[in-house]
Structure 1
Amino acid sequence: MIVFDLDDCLWSPEMYTLPNKPTKPILGDLGRLQGDAGEGVIGVQCSGGGPTVSLFPDALATLQRLHTERDTTFKDTLFAVASSSEEPSYSRLEEPES
């Protein structure tokens, strides 16, 4: 089992420092260590032009590798997240309204 801590391990800034819940997806180049992953959500911005929560580049690359190799290298691996955030609801991105 691999357990990921969220705040300041996978992304920054930490949830408790935000003025409100991040809700605006920011699109951009997802990059990849090898190949092109195309565009996708690279961060989530707080309303009113507040700070943007973004994955650290190495965290993104690690998550991409785990996803790419989920049926081979990591087929028997369980994944989980853990956080002691004072704002746990901030860590959940809801689907944007259409």
Structure 2
Amino acid sequence: MKDIITLLQHKKQEVITELKQGNTSQQGLISQLDKAISWLNTVEEHQLDTAKHYDIHQLPDTSNGMSFFHLMIDCESSDPNDWVEYTPNNKAIEMCMGDLVIVKK
């Protein structure tokens, strides 16, 4: 992955050099390269495998106003009173409609 990121960074520098020389034909490519580099850095940082090893779910519109989804640890119990909210760094994750959840298959 690092090799591809480096390749894209070099391509971005080439496009910047062309822009400085007056060739604006690939100006829109810079933002696309920035997006790709950013996503690939995230993939690398979190050591994600190939995309086919994950399911991506978009949280639904709840239709009752603004609601948040809570990520709970069920403590092997079906009773919600036994559940504990997952709070990394002592801060709840506030998920709402439209947010994405990536689940490893």
Per the TM superposition, whether the score is higher than 0.5 is: no
TM-score between the two structures when normalised by the length of structure 1: 0.24
Higher helix share: 2
TM-score between the two structures when normalised by the length of structure 2: 0.23
Larger CA Rg, structure 1 vs 2: 2
> Which of 1 and 2 has higher RCO (CA within 8 Å, sep 6+)?
1
Higher strand share: 1
